[in-house]
């Protein structure tokens, strides 16, 4: 039996290729998300130099004293900006917390923007002078990359080319800096670095991690260990895209398993692509089949509902 192979795509094929090459990219993207829940993107806009700088800063951030990091816990709650301490977030329906800590960077908006009262302000660690510049740049480049991926999905989903662009304009997308520290000796035996879960958002773009451990469950129900080089981005589908497509593109289940060497650190940087708060998650006509499985809901209401389920609100 032929071995299933996750599609590996090149962004330049869609942006610069011939019409047939663009069509091939679109077909492989759609098939990959439907059949596996993810694809591997072999080129992306972030230079290795910038990425290395980001990981160096992320390591420095999480090396700060615990009391210093706690100064950056957002007072607005929900963990949507700044620091979330170790042992706070848990996967939906899981009794024990994940073995991780993280920091969220969101969209920078002018003070008079209509969403400035919805999005908490970013928190920038004064201890790291380059932090804001580096992660603002990475945020912007991943945002553009995600917009291109979503645009490529519009054709197979039967919607206008700017459908997702309008939905994500000034969207509540999040860049998460993740640190999985060495495993504590007194941890709950059920706890792992990130229990099996699905992401809340439309799509997630995951740049390379500093160590292995990520596993994704493909549509056959098999756990696949994912290793990617610094020149790759793993793209997977989230709950919001699943809801829009009536599960034609289901949300991708994934986890981060504990390492054999309990003394190791792991760092990663997923970018969660979100719509703006007023966007309505309504089943696409091309995906209705025998009828919509979910009622319409705004992106903001759905986000808050899911944040409560994972212990962040």
Q: How confident is the model at residue 1 (pLDDT cuts 50, 70, 90)?
A: very low
Q: Taking residues 252-278, report their average pLDDT.
A: 88
In a domain? residue 121: yes
As a whole number, the mean pLDDT across the chain is 88
In a domain? residue 1: no
In a domain? residue 172: yes
Ramachandran category for residue 248: left, alpha or beta (phi over 0 → left; psi -120 to 50 → alpha)? alpha
The lowest-confidence range among 22-31, 146-155, 167-176, 261-270 is 261-270
Q: Tell me: the pLDDT tens digits for 86-127?
A: 877 777 767 788 788 999 999 999 989 999 888 989 999 999
What is the span of the domain harbouring residue 197?
A: 8-309
- Measured CA to CA, the distance from residue 189 to residue 186 in angstroms comes to 9
* Number of domains comprising the chain: 1
In a domain? residue 123: yes
In a domain? residue 3: no
In a domain? residue 148: yes
- Measured CA to CA, the distance from residue 215 to residue 205 in angstroms comes to 15
The reported pTM is 0.92
Q: Are 215 and 257 in contact (CB under 8 A)?
A: yes
Q: Going by C-beta distance under 8 Å and a sequence separation of 6 or more, which residues neighbour residue 186?
A: none
**Per-residue model confidence (pLDDT) at position 4:** 65
Instruction: Report whether pLDDT(242) > 90.
Output: yes
Ramachandran category for residue 289: left, alpha or beta (phi over 0 → left; psi -120 to 50 → alpha)? left
What is the Cα Rg of the chain in Å? 19
- Measured CA to CA, the distance from residue 123 to residue 73 in angstroms comes to 9
- Measured CA to CA, the distance from residue 171 to residue 148 in angstroms comes to 15
Q: Tell me: the pLDDT tens digits for 43-52?
A: 888 888 998 8
In a domain? residue 125: yes
In a domain? residue 2: no
Instruction: Report whether pLDDT(272) > 60.
Output: yes
Q: How confident is the model at residue 252 (pLDDT cuts 50, 70, 90)?
A: confident
Residue-level length of the chain: 313
CATH code, domain with 45: 2.60.120.330
- Measured CA to CA, the distance from residue 226 to residue 40 in angstroms comes to 10
């Amino acid at each position: 039996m032929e071995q299933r192979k996750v599609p590996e795509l090149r962004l330049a094929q869609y942006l610069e290729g011939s019409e047939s090459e663009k069509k091939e990219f679109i077909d492989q993207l759609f098939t990959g998300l439907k059949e596996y829940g993810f694809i591997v993107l072999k080129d992306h806009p972030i230079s290795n130099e910038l990425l290395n700088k980001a990981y160096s800063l992320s390591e420095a951030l999480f090396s700060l004293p615990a009391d210093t990091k706690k100064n950056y816990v957002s007072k607005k709650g929900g963990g949507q900006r700044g620091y979330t301490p170790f042992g706070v977030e848990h996967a939906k329906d899981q009794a024990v917390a994940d073995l991780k800590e993280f920091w969220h960077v969101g969209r920078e908006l002018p003070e008079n923007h209509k969403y400035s009262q919805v999005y908490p302000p970013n928190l920038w660690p004064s201890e790291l002078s380059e932090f804001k510049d580096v992660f603002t740049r990475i945020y912007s480049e991943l945002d553009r990359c995600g917009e291109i991926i979503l645009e490529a999905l519009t054709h197979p989903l039967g919607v206008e080319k700017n459908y997702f662009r309008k939905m994500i304009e000034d969207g509540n997308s999040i860049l998460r800096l993740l640190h999985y520290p060495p495993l504590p000796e007194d941890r709950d035996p059920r706890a792992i670095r990130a229990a099996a879960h699905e992401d809340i958002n439309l799509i997630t773009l995951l740049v390379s991690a500093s160590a292995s451990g990520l596993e994704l469950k493909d549509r056959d129900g098999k756990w696949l260990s994912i290793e990617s080089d610094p020149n790759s981005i793993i793209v997977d589908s989230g709950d919001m895209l699943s809801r829009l497509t009536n599960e034609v593109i289901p949300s991708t289940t994934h986890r981060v398993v504990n390492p054999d060497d309990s003394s190791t650190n792991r760092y990663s940087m997923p970018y969660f692509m979100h719509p703006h708060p007023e966007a309505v998650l309504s089943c696409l006509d091309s995906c209705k089949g025998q009828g919509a499985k979910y009622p319409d809901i705004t992106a903001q209401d759905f986000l808050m509902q899911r944040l409560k389920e994972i212990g962040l609100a």
